[in-house]
Structure formats: C-alpha cells, structure tokens
Amino acid sequence: MTKISPMHEIYTAERALLVSVEKDELMRPYGMEELTALTETAGAEVVGEFYQRRNRPDPAYFIGTGKTQELLAGVLDTSADLVIVDSELSSVQARNLEEAVKCRVIDRTQLILDIFGQRAHTREGKLQVSLAQLTYLLPRLGNLYTKFERQQGGIGVRGGAGETKLETDRRKVRETISDLKAQLGEVRSTRQQQRVHRKKLPFPTAALVGYTSAGKSTLLNQLSGSEVFADPQLFATLDPTTRRVDMPEGGAILLTDTVGFIRNLPTHLIASFRATLEETIEADFLIHVVDISHPHYEMQMSAVMEVLEELGAGDKPMITLYNKADLVPDRQYIQELVASTPNSAAICAVSGAGVPDLMNRIISTLSELLVEVNVLLPYNRSDLVALCHEYGRVHKTEYQEGGILVEAHLTRDLVNKLSEYAI
C-alpha cells in the first residue's frame, strides 16, 4: 500500500472504473486516454470505462440516474473497488455517487493531487502538495460526518449547542492551512533571494514550459549536459531545476525546468505551487516544449497557454519548440508547421537533432532582449571586458589611447553596471 494523500489511499492492486461526461464526442478518446494515463501513474489498474454525452453534468449524481445504475452493474461485474471521475465533483455529487455505486469515488482533482503527493520529495514540494490537498478538502469535510456524529460535548453541554466535531475539524484544517501558507511564504522569500543572487550574474533567464511528459527535463539535460531526472510518466518533475546553458557564439543563459501542465489543472495546485511557478513569471523568455507526436498536441498547447495566462506570463517572449519530431513520419508537415509558427523549431531532445536550430532561435530571441551599447572601459577595468564577452554578444573591441572601446549587445543588468562608461 502506498499512502499518497490524507483524502485517499491507492493500493497497487486497486481496480478502477473510469467515468467521463463530455458534450463533445471528439473529446472522448483523448479524455479517456489521459485519465487512463493518470490512473496508471497513480498505481491503479483500469478495468472499465463509462462515458456519457451530456451538455452539462447531472447536479445530483454527475451522470444520469440510468447511467448510475449501469455503473453499479459495472462495479459488480468487474469487482472494481474504485471509481474515478474525469471532472471535479461537488460534495453532493461525490456523496450521492458513492452511495449509489457502493464503491469509493474520487474525482480528477483528487487523482492529480495523489500523483503530486507521490512525486513530492523535497520539503517545498511536500508543503505545496499538502496545502493543495487541504484546500481541496476543507469545503468537503461535511461529507465525512453524519448528523449523528457531529456533536462534541460532555457533562453540561451534552445535547447543547457546543462546538460540533465538524466545526472543530474545520478550524484545525484552517489553522494548518494558515501554517502551511506561512511556511511557503518563507520558501517564496528564499526563492526570491536565489533569483536576486542569480541576477548578480547577469545571464538572461529562460523557463521551459509545456504539457506534462512533453520532454522538458530531457531537453534541459541535452542542452546543459546535466543529469536531471527525466521520466516518461506524468508529472515526473515537481521542483524547478536551473542549469547554465552555454551559447555557441559565447555567453550563456540560465534555463529552468518547471512542473508540467495538464488539461484542467486544479486551481488548488496553481495557487499552492505559486512559489515554484514564479520561476516562469520571472524568466526573460519562455521555451514552450510541445510533444508534436501526440495526436492532440494542439489541445495540449491551448491548455498550457491557459495556465500561462492565469499566471500572468502569457505575453512573455516565447520560442515554440516541437519536440519528438522524429516520431512524426510526415517530415513535410513538420517543416510547414515550423514555417507557419513564429519563432519556432523542431527537435528531438533525446538525440539532440535540431539543437542548432533551437540555438539560433534562442540567439534571435536574446537579440531582442539585449541592449546595444558602446562603452569606453579604462585599462584598469579590463575585467569588465571579460564580463561583456561572458554575459553578452561583443561585436567590436578596440584598444584606444583613452581606454578599451567595446561595442556589444548586453543584458540590461550589465548595461546598468557599465552606465558610467557609456559613450
């Protein structure tokens, strides 16, 4: 048994029935495929699928009453001990459905939170997951009690108003949430200090963003020569990792790998992982890694852009990188896609094919971020010439009588440091 959240425990032998309600028939195979992947990532076995086409979910059972009876029969036929619904359920829907099918029921949000619980290994990751879980749990605490179990009291208050067990637990959960937020505030402060420290080294910064399993960690390893953990399973990376990537014409960037996104990413996670996701917000530009081999890659791209908009990073300079291009037989399609997508490239992060094209895109993006300067540096500050070469693109160096003339494109931070020598 693997415990992965305070709300639910998934056993490796658990048998799960999947339930989806969609108004768009075309979404059915994609939605079920993704829910199956999430379920298997959590450690359960999928033994059946139930789908219903509806414009909106049933307010009482999520699925209609007739479909609920079919689901009950499915639970009995397959000996399923878990039902997973591909949407976030209201407390009423969860309670009614669980009572009707005589089986434990969890929703998509709980499933994703469980997976994050498995993946969280650092203190920061565990704090963020715990906060998301408790934020999800708080409005649903009432379902854990019956009206005969709520009263808490003793001599003199038995049968009186008192403080109910439910109210006590709600208060405790709120206190825990406040404590977690305070601890994450410290984490946020630490991350801010780390960013300030990195800015003392005036490298441009970039963040890898994309759908989960798009290949961001593999790309980071390919570009930086590091060995960051990369796995094809969903949400293999929770904690951001920053590495230096040297550019072919000199200079370097700091590249950060971030947590992968997914369709209908729970708002609890976005809020709880704010400190981590700020690495995306603070980056100078983004590299959007897309799994071009996925049949629904366009839908995945839209999901990523929705999250970026919610974070306030949707308008940042962006390189669109079509990864896993080697898995697409139609090479002309790839070429036409890159030609029609501004500032894009195709790559295979595993083999490194296409890396030169990506580097050209990065150089082009940096050119728009760097500032053109002419400075006359004194000979006793020749160290600043080295800084220009390391953190920017130097076009001309000329040793004159009054000092060293440097014409270059540099980061804004370095330009500010050299402002007294500008000519």
User: Per residue of the chain (423 residues), what is the pLDDT tens digit?
Assistant: 444 444 555 545 689 999 998 887 777 778 898 999 999 989 899 999 998 888 889 999 999 889 999 999 999 999 999 999 999 999 899 999 999 999 999 999 999 989 888 888 788 888 888 998 999 988 887 665 543 444 444 444 444 444 577 788 888 989 999 999 999 888 878 877 776 666 666 678 899 999 988 999 999 999 998 877 666 667 766 777 889 999 887 778 999 998 888 888 877 778 777 766 777 888 989 999 999 999 999 999 999 999 899 888 888 999 999 999 999 999 999 999 999 999 999 999 999 999 999 999 999 998 888 889 999 999 999 899 988 887 778 889 999 999 999 999 888 878 888 999 998
Q: In terms of domains, do 224 and 243 share one?
A: yes
| The pLDDT value given to residue 147 | 39
Q: In terms of domains, do 128 and 261 share one?
A: no
Q: In terms of domains, do 350 and 236 share one?
A: yes
Is 56 domain-assigned?
yes
Using left for φ > 0, alpha for ψ between -120 and 50, and beta otherwise, residue 408 falls in beta
| The pLDDT value given to residue 12 | 52
| The pLDDT value given to residue 199 | 60
Is 157 domain-assigned?
yes
How many other C-beta atoms are found inside a 10 Å radius of the C-beta of residue 398?
10
Q: Which amino acid is at 267?
A: T
3 state SS of 422 = strand
Q: In terms of domains, do 138 and 162 share one?
A: yes
If one counts the domains in the chain, the total is: 4
Q: In terms of domains, do 325 and 406 share one?
A: no
Q: In terms of domains, do 256 and 138 share one?
A: no
Which of 117, 138, 153 is the last residue before a domain boundary? 117
Q: In terms of domains, do 320 and 244 share one?
A: yes
The DSSP 8-state label assigned to residue 381 in this structure reads G
pTM higher than 0.85 for the full model?
Answer: no
Q: In terms of domains, do 229 and 357 share one?
A: yes
Is 196 domain-assigned?
no
Q: In terms of domains, do 214 and 77 share one?
A: no
- The DSSP line for 200-236 is TTT--EEEEEEBTTSSHHHHHHHHH-------SSTT-
Beta strands 393-400 and 403-410 are: antiparallel
Is 192 domain-assigned?
no
Is 194 domain-assigned?
no
Q: In terms of domains, do 340 and 413 share one?
A: no
| The pLDDT value given to residue 116 | 86
Is 282 domain-assigned?
yes
Is 193 domain-assigned?
no
CA angle 346, 349, 353 (to 5 degrees): 60
Domain holding 396, by residue range, is: 370-421
Which of 117, 147, 168 is the last residue before a domain boundary? 117
Q: What is the CATH number of the domain that holds 333?
A: 3.40.50.300
The DSSP 8-state label assigned to residue 62 in this structure reads B
| The pLDDT value given to residue 195 | 64
Which of 131, 152, 187 is the last residue before a domain boundary? 187
Q: In terms of domains, do 225 and 328 share one?
A: yes
Q: What is d(CA 411, CA 222) in angstroms, rounded to the nearest whole number? A: 25
Q: What is the CATH number of the domain that holds 57?
A: 3.40.50.11060
3 state SS of 94 = helix
Q: In terms of domains, do 211 and 343 share one?
A: yes
Distances (CA, A) of 189 to 106, 182, 185, 276, 304: 35, 11, 6, 11, 26
3 state SS of 38 = helix
